[in-house]
Amino acid sequence: MELYPAIDLRGGRCVRLHQGDFDRETVYDDDPVARAGAFAAAGSPWVHVVDLDGARTGEPANRSVVAAIAAALAGSGTRVQAGGGVRSAAAAEALLDAGIDRVVLGTAAVDDPALVSRLAAAHPGAVAVGVDVRGDEVAVRGWASGTGQAAADVVGRFADAGVAALVVTQILVDATMAGPDLDGLAALLSATDVDLVASGGVGSIAHLAALAELEVEGRRLAGAIVGKALYEGAFGLDDALDAVRGRRSS
């Protein structure tokens, strides 16, 4: 399982939103490019970047910052996965042209699954789908709107779409550090053969270890996104990398 340290962008700064609430924002860093560089220097295989302003409005408010992160990490060995407000082929390709290694479509994927298939065919290995769930209901447009669709149904829709991964965020635990939704993730592991990257709730090394050890019918998670726990100093990146690689000392 690979680690994805998160950089959530709002107004060009690194922030975290408690359970996706834009009125419950904590600012952690005014220099997201430097933060991404620190993650890369520590040996992280990925950095996960979200344009929160874009997710809410559909406009690429932080695209220049995302591009600057990609430029700073070019040649470092650390890949950049980015999403938030990517609602068209043009928006996805603009990010890929800026040096992003993998682009994540959420709202657009729910609204137009065929768009995902076209992009995945044109850019093999560079397209992922974001599945944001509140309980079991998929949410869109910066988590502001419910869809009435169950997570397993949405996940199943992309079985043959050629996507590199499904990024699953449980909104109810996001930025709470209360622990990931292991039951929900287990259900989705059994519902698809596509790689799953888990997001939401990690607050300790034990939580990361639980994600790394989660197994259903021989399938395990491909990755875990961690944000607030790193910014709050709950654990260091070195320990997190050891945990996802199964190198805990206890």
Dump pLDDT digits (tens) for 54-101.
999 999 999 999 999 999 999 999 999 999 999 999 999 999 999 999
Q: Among residues 53, 101, 132, 174, which one is catalytic?
A: 132
How many domains does the structure of the chain reveal?
A: 1
8 is catalytic: yes
Is it the case that residue 249 has pLDDT exceeding 50? Answer: no
Please report whether residue 210 resides in a domain: yes
Q: What is the CATH number of the domain that holds 6?
A: 3.20.20.70
Q: Is residue 38 in a domain?
A: yes
Token pair recorded at residue 164: 């590199």
| Per-residue confidence band for 130, with pLDDT thresholds at 50, 70 and 90 | very high
In a domain? residue 249:
no
SS3 243: helix
Q: How confident is the model at residue 248 (pLDDT cuts 50, 70, 90)?
A: low
Annotated active-site residue in 8, 51, 53, 181: 8
Q: How far apart are CA 142 and CA 186, in angstroms?
A: 24
Q: Rounded to whole angstroms, how far apart are CA atoms 32 and 49?
A: 10
Report the pLDDT value the prediction gives residue 20, as an integer from 0 to 100. 86
Question: Is pLDDT of 118 > 60?
Answer: yes
250 inside domain: no
**Residue 143 pLDDT:** 86
The token pair at 135 is 């309980």
Q: Which domain holds residue 10?
A: 2-244
In a domain, 49, yes or no: yes
For residue 197, list its beta bridge partners. Answer: 167, 223
Residues facing 13 on adjacent strands = 10
Q: What is the pTM of this model?
A: 0.96
Q: Which of 117, 97, 100 is closest to 46 using CA atoms?
A: 100
| pLDDT, position 247 | 63
Confidence of residue 245 (pLDDT cuts 50, 70, 90): confident
Q: Could you tell me if residue 112 is inside a domain?
A: yes
Tens-place pLDDT, residues 7-56: 999 999 999 999 888 899 999 999 999 999 999 999 999 999 999 999 99
For residue 180, being part of any structural domain is answered with yes
